[in-house]
Amino acid sequence: MKNSEKLVKLISSFIENGILTSKDVKNELYNNLQFKKNNLLNKLELVSRKDFDILRKIVQKQSREISELKKNKDLKRQRDLNKQSFIIHAFHQLYIPSV
């Protein structure tokens, strides 16, 4: 059903029910549109700006922490490799005679 047909049907139902003043029609239309708007917003599951900003800050903080942990992991891995190569080099100097 087209929107114009819905509007005409709504207005005719108001008239049939005895709502004749323009103020009453305006209030009924407003209430009907408000109800439809609220239903649509509930279906979209929108969040408030405040909630969105809080979640955005949490995600940014977690992203920084993840980056820092990756950086620390890489540094630790590099230190471990350096220790291993130092130990291997020292072992070669002590136990393997130079030719």
Same-domain check for residues 33 and 57: no
pLDDT tier at 7, thresholds 50, 70, 90: confident
Same-domain check for residues 41 and 62: no
Please say whether the beta carbons of 28 and 12 come within 8 A: no
Same-domain check for residues 54 and 17: no
Same-domain check for residues 40 and 53: no
Q: What pLDDT is stored for residue 62 in this prediction?
A: 97
Hey, what amino acid is at 26? K
% of the chain surpassing 90 pLDDT: 27
Please say whether the beta carbons of 10 and 32 come within 8 A: yes
DSSP helix/strand/coil, 47: coil
| pLDDT tens digit sequence for 76-92 | 988 888 888 888 887 77
| pLDDT tens digit sequence for 35-49 | 998 888 888 888 889
pLDDT tier at 68, thresholds 50, 70, 90: very high
Domain that holds residue 28: 1-46
Q: How far apart are CA 16 and CA 12, in angstroms?
A: 6
